[in-house]
Amino acid sequence: MIPKEKVEEIREKSDIVAIISEYLPIKKRGKNYLALCPFHSEKTASFTVSQDKQLFHCFGCGEGGNVFAFIMKMEKMDFPEAVGFLAEKIGIEVEKSKGNAALKTYKDHLYEITEMACKFFRANLESNRGESARAYVSTRKISPETEGKFRLGFAEDDFGALFKHLLSRGAKVEDIEAVGLILPRKEKTGYYDRFRGRLMFPICDVRGRVIGFSGRALKDEPPKYLNSPDSVIFSKGDNLFGLNLGKDEIKKRKYSILVEGNVDVLSAHEAGFQNTVAPLGTAFTLNQAKLLKRFADIVVLAFDSDAAGFAASERAYEVLNEAELMVRILDLGKYKDPDEFIKAEGPKAFEDKLKVSMPAMEFKVHRIISRYNIKEIEPRSRAAYEVAGLLAKEKDRIVQKEYLKLAAKLIGTDEELLTAEMRKRSFYKRSYGAPLKAITKRPPDKVAEAEKSLIYLALTSEEAYGLIKEGIELDELSDPNYREIFNKLETIPAIHLEEVLGSEDQKRIVRESLLSESPAADISLMVKDCINVVKGFNIKKQIDRVRQDINEQEKSGNFETVKKLNSEYKSLSEILRTVAR
């Protein structure tokens, strides 16, 4: 729908380094830029961005592509959406091709419906119908400014108010149902509103588009909170409440506060902690952790201070740890949740609490020890065993060692004994869990390495490509991916190869080659050496075939044929010696 030349203009004017730096902290390293990959967990940066080639590639997980591919992956967009998103960002107006100017994507229709619903709920809250909801907002001490900032609304206790309103605005029944705002009646005689008699919290994506709702019951009836179901535009496990309003502050402070409830988020924002977000009524997910990692280095968990809250903190810590985020725990003391704490003690006290928040592992060690009377021998030993099991899960050996020292001191036991127990737990975990990885790597395949070097040289040097083209035939390459890349390289520049290759493996090979550092060695010498290795391999295969034919012909008594084969064998052996020099 967007003209090809317009797409090309947008790509040329979208500096991939500038775009990616809005999402990730990147550092210049040589001619390229490096960052920790947002698409998989890693401690050593392997995510590489090239300003010259306008490409990115992770040498760890293989993800890569141009600026459109990055936006599609990060923002969960399709290609036209990514093009439009970048066009708007850099100030290029995009006109749809003739005949399609009025056509909008299916998702666009759904966003329009959720936005209409948000405005409808908002108008309800401000009208006479919203008196009960406004009273609740007042009792929770939510200011009009915060109420407006989060666009709170009210779903009146009516089975068809929203449905009728949306229909009157031209929305289709199937689209209203698709975003979860209505439900079909059991009798199949129509539909009714999902949200009724509830204070409505719009849920927005990172870009601020309304993608769903969370409704808080105003009467004492279950469920207390009712969320929109997952849809084409909304997934509970992929979004965070308040992130659209808090992402800039999170970037600025480099840490995020993760709370349990919507009202906790509102209270924190009102108190000046705009870097606060919350999950959406389900267990915290790895996708949510990765989303936070785009903006934060550290996450402070401030879940409810009850048994359920502690359990949720434990689960969230495991997920955040897997995403390579540093985690701290906020101890709310006698208060149930951040909302209650802030209203009772004020913003300054909450800030002081944040400053003394404890690293998650230390908090867990203290929590384990607090459950035992360590003045007595047997409870002390049980505490030691439980702490050893906890520390056996820690992957960072330096962190693990430091916590062993701390735990031994807190429990009052011998550090060496605690270390031995921890190592025993680690051993059994490895032995009976996932299979152990091989201690040694397979020796590198010389031919595969030579072919890999040839493809790299061909893609990065015109001189090398000319020498390779003269020195080797395509069918001499054992890897079909390399043969296809060389074939396409005949007519298409290396920088545009990825766009025409159908295989993800081939695209990955091209990106890795283009983003690798240039060799310091003599290019012509490298080409010659690699060609000789490949040719030598093919000649050895021919020699083996001839040797096998000789044996078969000797058994059959065909000595004239054997004579010819011996001549061929000698000729091939001479060629092999020449190649090997």
- At residue 255, φ and ψ (nearest 5 deg) are -150, 155
pLDDT, one tens digit per residue, over 365-380 is 998 999 899 999 999 9
Give the pLDDT confidence of 215-261 residue by residue, as tens digits: 999 987 788 999 999 999 999 999 999 999 999 999 899 899 999 99
For the ranges 215-229, 295-309, 327-341, 426-440, the lowest mean pLDDT is seen at 426-440
- pLDDT tier for residue 154 given thresholds of 50, 70 and 90: very high
In what side-by-side order are the strands of the sheet with 298-302? 276-277, 255-259, 298-302, 326-329, 358-359
Share of the chain above pLDDT 90, in %: 46
Segment 538-559, tens digit of pLDDT = 888 889 888 888 888 888 888 8
**Does position 446 have pLDDT exceeding 90, yes or no?**
no
Residue 580 above 70 pLDDT? no
pLDDT band at 100 (very low <50, low <70, confident <90, very high): very low
The CATH number of the domain covering residues in 4-90: 3.90.580.10
> Which residues, 6+ apart, have CB-to-CB distance to 334 below 8 Å?
305
Locate the domains of the chain by residue range: 4-90, 106-234, 240-295+304-325+335-345, 364-432, 446-580
Task: Give me the mean pLDDT over the 382-387 stretch.
Answer: 92
Task: Provide, rounded to the nearest whole percent, the portion of the chain with pLDDT above 70.
Answer: 94
> How much is the pLDDT for 556?
85
| pLDDT at 384 (0 to 100) | 93
Q: Which of 122-136, 160-174, 359-373, 419-433 has the lowest mean pLDDT?
A: 419-433
Structure tokens at 133: 């909801």
CA distance 522 to 495: 23
- SS3 label, residue 441: coil
Q: Mind listing the pLDDT tens digit for each residue in 155-211? A: 999 999 999 999 999 999 999 999 999 999 988 789 999 999 999 999 999 989 999
Write the single-letter amino acid at 433: G
* Topology annotation, domain 446-580: DNAb Helicase; Chain A (1.10.860)
pLDDT score, position 5? 83
Mean pLDDT for the stretch of residues 19-40: 89
Query: Which tokens in the block code for residue 487?
Result: 């074939």
CATH superfamily of 106-234: DNA primase, catalytic core, N-terminal domain (3.90.980.10)
Higher pLDDT, 201 or 506: 201
Q: What is the mean pLDDT of residues 465-469?
A: 88
Average pLDDT over residues 52-70: 91
pTM for the full predicted model: 0.68
- Where does 219-281 show beta strands of DSSP type E? 225-227, 255-259, 276-277
> Which of the four CATH numbers 3.10.310.30, 3.40.1360.10, 3.40.710.10, 3.40.640.10 does domain 240-295+304-325+335-345 have?
3.40.1360.10
Tokens standing for 338? 């951040």
Average pLDDT score over residue span 403-422: 91
Q: Check residue 182 and report its DSSP letter.
A: E
